[in-house]
Structure 1
């Protein structure tokens, strides 16, 4: 596995070694000891799997009381994945980073606790899988608007049409009004 720190050094792009032949392929997607060496000492407690159609945007989500680190990947289709630093004490507070994750590139993204996270589906549909360092806590949900002008995320919107978002995500807060980590 190759580990690459991004513009926000705590966010790490993982590229697995893929061994393939006429029968298909094999790859290791997670190894605790290597993950700890490159990303930190985290334990995962919950795995999630979603299916989303073209043009769907989920996020920007985070939890304050029980912040979740997420190791995310796409097993079918393609998404544009974004992490926003919500830690006031961080030199990269308010900055964001985005990468394309797909079944072709087989890359994973480590989004540590203290970040808001979102993804936008650029393929016909996408299956998105991720490991979490803490449990989902329905009373501890926060959301920032996908089109927040302060963050100015350059989403690769198909046909320049607004994405489809849930009612809850459509009511997300602006970054300047959002609750943050100290």
Structure 2
């Protein structure tokens, strides 16, 4: 087992078992509040943005919990297996998660603008959702991506896993080009 395995487990637990459920609870609180105090068409854009945000967040969470986090753990837990070849490219997974995170950032910015335009009181639960993303989600995700980049530069098992797949992809692409297939 790689020495980075415990750090990976801690980071994954912090995001997947603490932060993500807390954010899901914030969405639930917001929906409860909106059911008690529906505000009609004046808030329709805000509700649409919140629904889009929740959808993107849940999609990212599922993607990471079911694919990214297990893939990272697998790389670290198979360090002593010289024949191990990863089935996914962690760098590609990271790129895709970052694209989702950028979309989430844009949605948070739009929600914040709309909440300001609607002059919602600071006690409105939408501000809790905005705060948790800005204060916890984005800093945690930045730390996670930084840690992945460090592992890729400094950890032999992690670098081996990402480089093996990159080389396989290049070889596969080259062979497909030779044979005229895609």
Q: TM-score if structure 2 supplies the norm length?
A: 0.22
> Whose radius of gyration is greater, 1 or 2?
2
Structure that is richer in helix per residue:
2
Structure that is richer in strand per residue:
1
